[in-house]
């Protein structure tokens, strides 16, 4: 760990393709930051393997007894592990639990999430399925700051994806992920460069 690097902590529960896009950006020198630690609430999540392959510390921290959030003791463990690493930005990359006040308060304005729809449409789970069922012609993905409330925080960047007449949920999600892999590393680069400002709900990029 170098002394002056901008340190990122990443939380994920799944396959970690977005972690990979961030690793690629860091390794290519496009993102002036270091991924200090990757934490998962799922012991065998592939995201942990991806981190290890790139020499990044990968930790499983048991989530506790709840399904949709972290238990109190567990939340404190996540926060202290991130603080131990001097993390300045927490990036959620497919982390399937909502963060509560204590966690968010520990990193004010310093947690970002990626959601697979054009928010505020289709909050919550499987947003690409919701979009197909609703019949929208365009959907996409959103990177936003995390605040209390599900997928409601200030929007940093969005990308649009066209819905095709014969789309399946899998095909649509795959095309959304192509855009995710483009905009998430881009947002993290801008934050690491100190170019993202927040005034109320309004995000500005300098
Ligand atoms: C992405 O679609 C993201 O929008 C959502 O969870 C998924 C994570 O995918 N929050 P991956 O694990 O990064 O491949």
**Tens digit of each residue's pLDDT (9 = 90 or more) over 67-108:** 999 998 999 999 999 999 999 999 999 999 999 999 999 999
Strands 111-115 and 89-92: parallel
Q: What local confidence, expressed as pLDDT, does residue 149 receive?
A: 87
Residue nearest to atom 12 of ligand 1 (CA): 16
Q: What local confidence, expressed as pLDDT, does residue 1 receive?
A: 55
41-60 average pLDDT score? 98
Task: Quickly list H helices, the chain.
Answer: 17-27, 46-53, 72-84, 101-106, 127-134, 169-192
DSSP string, 109-163: T-EEEEESSSTTSS-SS-HHHHHHHHT-SEEEEEEEE--SSTT-SPEEEEEEEEP
Cα 86 to Cα 83: distance, rounded to the nearest angstrom = 5
Tens of pLDDT, residue by residue over 111-150, are 999 999 999 999 999 999 999 999 999 999 999 999 998 9
Mutating to test ligand 1, I would choose from 19, 35, 94 the residue with most ligand atoms within 8 A of its C-beta, which is 94
Catalytic residues: 115
Q: What local confidence, expressed as pLDDT, does residue 4 receive?
A: 83
């Amino acid at each position: 760990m170098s002394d002056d690097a901008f340190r990122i902590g990443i939380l994920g529960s799944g396959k970690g393709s977005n972690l990979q896009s961030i690793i690629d950006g860091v390794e290519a020198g496009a993102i002036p930051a270091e991924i200090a630690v990757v934490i998962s609430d799922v012991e065998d999540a592939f995201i942990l393997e991806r981190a290890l392959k790139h020499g990044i510390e990968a930790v499983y921290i048991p989530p506790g007894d709840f399904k949709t959030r972290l238990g109190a003791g567990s939340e404190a463990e996540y926060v202290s592990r991130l603080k131990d690493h001097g993390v300045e930005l927490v990036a959620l990359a497919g982390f399937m639990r909502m963060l509560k006040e204590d966690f968010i308060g520990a990193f004010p304005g310093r947690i970002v999430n990626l959601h697979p729809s054009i928010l505020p449409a289709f909050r919550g789970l499987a947003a690409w399925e919701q979009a197909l069922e609703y019949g929208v012609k365009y959907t996409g993905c959103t990177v936003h700051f995390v605040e209390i409330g599900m997928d409601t925080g200030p929007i940093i960047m969005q990308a649009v994806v066209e819905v095709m007449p014969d789309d399946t949920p899998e095909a649509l999600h795959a095309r959304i992920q192509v855009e995710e892999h483009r905009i998430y590393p881009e947002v993290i680069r801008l934050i690491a460069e100190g170019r993202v400002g927040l005034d109320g709900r309004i995000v500005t990029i300098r």
